[in-house]
Homo-oligomer: A and B are copies of this chain.
């Protein structure tokens, strides 16, 4: 059953949403809040990591390229290449904001993670 699941080529959006995200050191960073999809092509542009939200303060959101999400079956969560120093400089926005999500923004985000825009 696990072998079948791990080789399943597709995943449901509602299984991605809410999945925990860890850094390579095993620290829990947050969870995937939602996906951002290109309307025309149906391509997932970003998986948005929600992070923070202490003592009633708002959360920060980090748009991640889909390709940086690596599912770790032992942790039942995604591991992303974001150590603490890298997290500080990562593109983010406050929960109540909304990025433009235009090509310039996309290139900046993808460049940060070394992903191809």
Contact = CB atoms under 8 A, between A and B. Distances in A.
Contacts of A16: 13, 37
B8 A101 contact: yes
A45 B101 contact: no
Contacts of A66: 42
The interface size bin for chain A is 20 to 34
A90 interface: no
A11 B42 CA distance: 10
A9 B44 contact: no
A38 B17 contact: no
Interface of A: 8-14, 16-17, 33-45, 66-67, 101-102
11 contacts: A8-B39, A9-B39, A9-B101, A10-B45, A11-B36, A13-B16, A13-B34, A13-B36, A13-B37, A14-B17, A14-B34
